[in-house]
Amino acid sequence: MTHPAIELIGIDKRFGAVHANKDIALRIEAGTIHGIIGENGAGKSTLMSILYGFYEADKGEIRVNGAPVRIRSSADAIALGIGMVHQHFMLVEPMTVAENVLLGAEGAALIEKPLEHAYAEIRRLGRDYGLVVDPDATVGELSVGLQQRVEIIKALYRGANILILDEPTGVLTPAEATQLFEVLKELRRQGRTVMIITHKLKEIMAITDHVSVMRRGEMVAHRKTAETSMAELAELMVGRPVQQPVAHTGATPGAPLLEVAHVTVADSRGVVRVDDVSFSIRAGEIVGIAGVSGNGQSELIEAISGIIPPTRGQVTIAGKPLTGDAAAARLQGLAHVPEDRHRMGLVTAFPAYESAILGRQDAPKYGAGPLIDRVATVTDTADKMSRFDVRPQNPLLKTANFSGGNQQKIVIAREIETAFSVLIVAQPTRGVDIGAIAFIHEEILKQKALGKAILLVSVELDELFALSDRLIVMCGGRVVGERATAETDHNEIGLMMAGVDQGRAA
């Protein structure tokens, strides 16, 4: 009888008062793709971090291929054939692909021979698993999808037969996600074992053989994927039936609150990233921007929110031209949920109560003069955490210690709970579980009902269709089409995103 690739028996882990993993039992069959799902803060990442040696369990047993093992570091995990691809990649961007793959695995005093071997292995892995990438490419110049390939190659180069992927499609385009699934299927065909931590139930149903469900630190269910459904898994995750994203409803918009006129943005090298973009959003209206990542959406958002100045054109907020920076935009009534919460939305080294007031720290309720009223700020943050179901509800906890979805809730609570007329929301549910998605969508729709103008940017077409009244499609930095959401479909928008159908641009 073949031993399971991984077996966890009675795994328990606490962080102070937080009981992250409670007597976890998990069996991963060799040569399968196994999904692990659960709400934000359910303990999934902690469990995988124990398996990869970032943490050591307080009690319990780990078996790899039937043998009891002790994993005290990632080096121990790697030696046992376990590799991990993190949600936020562990790459050195100025270095080449080959240098990143070799980093930490040189194995010789002189670098020439190991580097030569790395080149050969990168090319072989590319052929064998569909992981083709140029060994000489600088990592920082690669797309997110190719950077993820480098991470997988790194793990395989170190001999991983068991591969853990944490939210692997959270930053990928639909096309990149499809390519990743083909890679994972090939890994399975060749006998390797894959574990996927994800919130996306469609992906679980599409790619996995088995799925395990965690809730509030406990393992609550195991299912063969072919014998379950998205509805059952969603209910197991949150402990109650989950309402699917709200269907599109018509708008009764008022006067324009956000006007973008002929905005062009060029980067430091003079390359045009946004090319003559114009549109407006009225009070009580949600306009979605659809497009494959890297087609100018990020630069457009930064220009509208005052982070970068446009090369040409004008942004008007509530009838007043924006002439200053992001602070000036906030004063004019603009709230902004950025697409990358780590780079632009939070300071992860700060306690949560400080991250919860970033950009708003001068408000009178947080203190007077240069000093912040700590008691008032902590109390205010605790109130927000309660209303937005942030877990754990501890304003004093370091921001880095919250799961990605709970970090996102902190950002959204901060922006929505201030006075504004225009809201920019970029990738609002990236890395967020299905229960929180419904909550965030409901909050966005509440702001629409209150007469706010909302610009929604998302790589999730389902999300754009569920919330938007109109869709603007960007390709190559330009607006290539505009549609009323009720008068189009995923296929038409997808073709426009690819630059195929530009004939009916509004």
Which pLDDT tens digit goes with each residue over 269-323? 899 999 999 999 999 999 999 987 778 999 999 999 999 999 999 999 999 999 9
- Report pLDDT for 504: 45
Nearest Cα neighbor of 336 from 309, 367, 300 is: 300
Which residues, 6 or more positions from 499, have their beta carbon under 8 angstroms from its beta carbon?
475, 476, 480
Structural domain that includes position 377: 256-497
**Within a domain: 101:** yes
Q: What is the pLDDT along the chain (506 residues), one digit of tens a residue?
A: 589 999 999 999 998 888 999 999 999 999 999 999 988 778 898 999 999 999 999 999 999 999 999 999 999 999 999 999 987 788 998 999 999 998 877 664 445 567 888 899 999 999 988 889 999 999 988 877 888 899 999 999 999 999 999 888 866 766 778 888 999 999 999 999 999 998 788 889 999 999 999 998 999 999 999 999 998 998 898 887 766 555 455 557 899 999 999 999 998 889 999 999 999 999 999 999 998 777 899 999 999 999 999 999 999 999 999 998 999 999 999 999 999 888 889 999 999 999 999 988 888 889 877 788 999 999 999 999 999 888 889 999 999 988 778 899 999 999 998 889 999 999 998 777 777 788 889 899 999 999 999 999 998 888 999 999 999 999 999 999 999 999 998 888 888 887 775 444 44
Between the alpha carbon of residue 203 and those of residues 5, 124, 170, 179, the distances in Å are: 22, 28, 11, 13
End residue of a domain, out of 176, 203, 238? 238
**Within a domain: 471:** yes
Q: What CATH number is associated with residue 456?
A: 3.40.50.300
Sign of CA dihedral 253, 257, 263, 268: negative
- Report pLDDT for 411: 95
In a 10 Å sphere around its CB, with 0-12 CB exposed, 13-18 middle and 19+ buried, how is residue 277 labelled? Answer: buried
237/243 Cα distance (integer angstroms): 13
Q: Are the CB atoms for 107 and 64 separated by under 8 Å?
A: no
Q: Are the CB atoms for 153 and 131 separated by under 8 Å?
A: yes
Q: How many domains does the chain have?
A: 2
Token pair recorded at residue 430: 């990236």
- Report pLDDT for 171: 67
- Report pLDDT for 506: 41
Between the alpha carbon of residue 378 and those of residues 8, 97, 125, the distances in Å are: 38, 44, 51
Token pair recorded at residue 393: 């509800």
Which residues, 6 or more positions from 96, have their beta carbon under 8 angstroms from its beta carbon?
135, 136, 137, 138, 139
Same domain, 416 and 301: yes
46/212 Cα distance (integer angstroms): 15
506/503 Cα distance (integer angstroms): 9
Same domain, 340 and 397: yes
Token pair recorded at residue 408: 């996102």
**Within a domain: 245:** no
Which residues, 6 or more positions from 180, have their beta carbon under 8 angstroms from its beta carbon?
145, 148, 168, 169, 172
Tell me the backbone φ, ψ of residue 58, rounded to 5 degrees: -70, -35
Cβ–Cβ contacts within 10 Å for residue 47, how many? 28
**Within a domain: 39:** yes
Provide the Cα torsion 26, 32, 33, 37; round to 10°.
-20
**Within a domain: 149:** yes
**Within a domain: 502:** no
Same domain, 74 and 39: yes
Same domain, 388 and 422: yes
Same domain, 224 and 277: no
How confident is the model over 487-506, as pLDDT tens digits? 998 888 888 887 775 444 44
Nearest Cα neighbor of 201 from 47, 391, 36, 46 is: 36
- Report pLDDT for 152: 93
**Within a domain: 244:** no
- Report pLDDT for 250: 54
**Within a domain: 250:** no
End residue of a domain, out of 238, 271, 287? 238
End residue of a domain, out of 206, 238, 270? 238
Q: Are the CB atoms for 140 and 102 separated by under 8 Å?
A: no
Q: Are the CB atoms for 19 and 217 separated by under 8 Å?
A: yes
Same domain, 181 and 37: yes
Same domain, 160 and 289: no
Same domain, 285 and 229: no
Same domain, 203 and 306: no
Same domain, 84 and 196: yes
Between CA 130 and CA 134, with CA 133 as vertex, the angle to 5 degrees is 150
Same domain, 208 and 270: no
Same domain, 317 and 345: yes
